Amino acid sequence: MAKLNQILAVEKGVKAGSQRAVTDAYHAIQKAPLLSGLSRTYQPIDDEGEQLPPESTRVQVKAEEVLADVAKALTRLFDVTAAKDWTNTVARSDVVVDGQTLLRDVPVTYLLFLEKQLVDLHTFVAKLPTLDPAETWTFDDNAETWRTEPVKTTRTKKVPRNHVLAEATDKHPAQVQVFTEDVVVGYWTKTAFSGALPARRVNELLARVQKLQDAVKYAREEANGTEAEEREIGAAVFRYLFA
């Protein structure tokens, strides 16, 4: 008796083969000359008349035979698909992570769903924002975000100053050069906050997703080892359709 994984392995080929057979049959019955034949003989009026050879054209396509070929090709497809679908209703396996059973008796169809979802989740987690490694972060319970230690910086203001190049005399005014000087007028205290995650946390999440992905794949392989419930669906269908 075949197992589900063996049915899955041949399903694609059977489907392609049946599609080709139906397509070929459809094209064949569209060609009227292939379905037509004739036979004719010639008889002159008297023995002195010209003798002509008989003519005949053989029927190359018979509709009933085409129906039989289509039924044969589709019967295999119907039976393989039935075996897969019937077995999918009973094929189950546990999802085990690190020796602990996370999910019990999961149907193989749901395991396939989980696999696809976990691929998307892995992509999502891999794109999570992480804290700037150049900073030192601690978690602020009040703000419920990460924060850095306060950093104090100065605020300066440009103040004009005069530099006397030459003192005033009776004959000349003083020569003064005007320049600006940066003068500290205050202090900034800056604390950065972030809603991102530590890289360690993201890596832990990725590892969990990967573990579950592996467990689900293993469970699916186990479920696919279930013996297939073979069903003769195609024969019943085409006995009715083409009888």
Confidence of residue 47 (pLDDT cuts 50, 70, 90): confident
Q: Which of 65-69, 93-97, 162-166, 195-199 has the lowest mean pLDDT?
A: 162-166
pLDDT of residue 221: 92
- pLDDT of 232 reads 86
Cross-strand pairs, 194: 146
What share of the chain has pLDDT > 90, as a percent? 57
Q: What's the length of the chain?
A: 243
Over residues 37-48, mean pLDDT: 87
Phi, psi of 135 (to 5 degrees): -110, 160
Q: What is the dihedral of CA 76, 77, 79, 84, to 10 degrees?
A: 140
Tens-place pLDDT, residues 145-192 = 999 999 999 999 988 887 777 777 777 787 878 888 889 889 999 999
